Amino acid sequence: MFPPIPNPSVAPDAAKPRFGEKDIVRRSASEVTPPAERLTEVAKLIDVTKCIGCKACQAACLEWNNLTEEIGFNHGVYENPMDLTPNTFTLMRFTEWENPETENLEWLIRKDGCMHCEDPGCLKACPAPGAIVQYSNGIVDFQHANCIGCGYCIKGCPFNIPRISKVDHTAYKCTLCSDRVAVGQGPACQKACPTQAIVFGTKQEMKDWADFRIKDLKSRGFDNAGLYDPQGVGGTHVMYVLHHADTPSIYAGLPDNPTISPIVDAWKGVTKYVGLAVMGFAAAAGFLHYVVAGPNKVSAEDEENAEKLTEGTAPPPPDPAQSQGNTQHGSTP
């Protein structure tokens, strides 16, 4: 059994971060040479069934990332703010769900935030080289110096996570505390979680821990308890333990089968290549035509004809009856 260690006690060694540029496996709008050796994949496991919705993770995220969120209003629910924002990388979402089988009320509380997909839609959609990178340990990180604020990442994301700042016009989302992980610490949210509903470790450890949790849940009558590690995006590096893994969408709209939208695929795939080809073809066709057919020049005869016309000596237009191409606009003579 994986011991529920709240925080790996590793002395931070800033001089030697555990991963960095050399470990990038994907870089938006760029080709990268994959590193020779892949780091052990990490993952954060959010056990929804242990979560009490205290929002300590939300507070820790604001504190660690030095974010200042606006003080909002109450909208008749426990969520605050009402959605992820450029300053709220993680948000507790509360759903009151009446279980049709047991008729019992269940208060489903899910910590929303970046899932750190193995196949990140944001990265795929991003047009700015190096604005989004994926490290070989699975962390998907935004590099704000390269971000152009276009918001394509939002459209690429199957989970509706990134948000564009109105202040610096760059995209923000959970970094999985890449800065902390780089020095051997777990993410701030995980450190703050009082019930260890959030745990962090290698992806395999997290899966094993999830198995242990799922067994416990099944013993309590949650027959559909399971792990949320959606394969549609190649698996994720933030996973959930759900009591009702058969219907993720009851958890405030967690996608049942998330994939990168086919529209995004079409846009970043076939459209790009076909588009470039079509434009290139058009230009090339013109060039070729010019080379082959030569310029279309006005002849001296044309000039003469024009002069004749102005002088009223030009031949009349061909009779429409004789030439189907020569029609009159307006009244016929």
Partner 1 sequence: MTNSWTDIRNTDLVIIMGGNAAEAHPCGFKWVTEAKANRGAKLIVVDPRFNRSASVADYYAPIRQGTDIAFLMGLINWCISNDKVQWAYTKAFTNATFIVKEGFEYQDGLFTGYDESKRDYNRDTWEYEIGPDGYAVVDDTLTHPRCVWNLLKQHVSVYTPEMVERICGTPKEKFLHIAQMIGECSSPTKTMTSMYALGWTQHSKGAQNIRGMAMLQLILGNIGVRGGGMNALRGHSNIQGLTDIGLLSNSLPGYLNLPTDKETDINVYMSTRGFKPLRPNQMSYWQNYRKFFVSFMKSMYGSAATAENNWAYDYLPKLDVPSYDILRMFDLMKQGKINVYFCQGFNPLQAFPNKAKLAEGLSKLKLLVVMDPLQTETARFWEDHGVFNKATPASIQTEVIQLPTTCFAEDEGSLVNSGRWLQWHWPGGSPPGEAKHDTWIMSQIFLRLKALYAKEGGAFPDPILNLSWNYKDPGEPSPEELAKEMNGSALVDVLDPVDPTKKVLEAGKLVSGFGVLRDDGTTAAGCWIYSGSYTEAGNMMARRDNSDPDATGAYLKWAFAWPANRRILYNRASCDLDGKPWDPSRKLIEWDGSKWTGYDVPDIAPTAKPQDVGPFIMNAEGTGRLFARKMMRDGPFPVHYEPFESPVANVIAPKIVGNPVARVFPDDWKQFAKTGTPDFPYAATTYRLTEHFHYWTKNNHVNAVLQPQQFVEISEELAREKGIEKGGWARVWSIRGEILAKAVVTKRIKPMTIDGKTVHVVGIPIHWGFVGAARKGFPANVLTPFVGDANIETPEFKAFLVNIEASTGPVA
Partner 2 sequence: MTTAYDHKPETPDDVEPGDAVHPGHPVTVDRYTVGARINHWITATSLVLLALSGMALFTPRLFFLTSLFGGGQWTRAIHPWIGVVLFFSFLLLFVRFFKANLPAREDVTWVAHSADLLAGREEKMPEVGKYNAGQKFVFWSMSGLIIVLIASGVVMWDQYFYDLTTIEQKRIAILVHAIAAVCIICVWIIHVYAAIWVKGTIGAMTRGKVTGGWAWRHHRKWLRELVGKKPPRAPAE
Q: What is the largest CA-CA distance in the chain?
A: 104
Burial of 50 (0-12, 13-18, 19+ CB in 10 A): middle
Residue 66's binding partner, choosing from partner 1, partner 2, none, with beta-carbon cut-off 5 to 8 A by kind? none
CA angle 171, 177, 181 (to 5 degrees): 140
Confirm or reject binding of residue 322 to partner 2 (CB under 8 A): no
Site string for partner 1, 69-98 (x = CB under 8 A): xxxxxxxxxx-xx--------------x-x
Contact (CB, 8 A) for 219 and 228: no
Site for partner 1 in 96-125 (CB under 8 A): 96, 98, 104-109
**Considering CB distances under 5 to 8 angstroms, the limit depending on partner class, which of partner 2, partner 1, none binds residue 63?**
partner 1
10 binds partner 2 (CB under 8 A): no
Distance CA 90, CA 96 (A): 20
Nearer to partner 2, 54 or 150 (CB): 150
Q: Single out the segment in contact with partner 2 by CB under 8 A; choices: 135-143, 183-191, 237-245, 289-297.
A: 289-297
Closest contact distance (angstroms) between CB of 216 and partner 1 is 6
Part in contact with partner 1 (CB under 8 A); list of ranges 116-124, 195-203, 271-279, 325-333:
195-203
Both ends of the chain: CA-CA distance in Å?
99
Residue 197 is a binding residue for partner 1 (CB under 8 A): yes
Q: Rule CB under 8 A: is residue 223 a binding residue for partner 1?
A: no
Q: Are 189 and 61 in contact (CB under 8 A)?
A: yes
Near partner 1 by CB under 8 A: residue from 5, 10, 32, 52: 52
# chain residues binding partner 1, by CB under 8 A: 42
> Exposed, middle or buried, 22 (CB in 10 Å: 0-12/13-18/19+)?
exposed
> 295 phi and psi, to 5 degrees?
-70, 155
In the bound state with partner 2, the residue whose beta carbon lies nearer, of 3 and 316, is 316
Both tokens assigned to 278: 């079509």
Q: Which residues contact 4 (CB under 8 A, 6 or more apart)?
A: 196, 199, 209
Applying CB under 8 A, which residues contact partner 2?
29-30, 127-129, 146-152, 154-155, 160, 164, 166, 169, 261, 263-264, 266-267, 271-272, 274-276, 278-279, 282-283, 286, 289-290, 293-307, 309-312, 316-318, 323-333
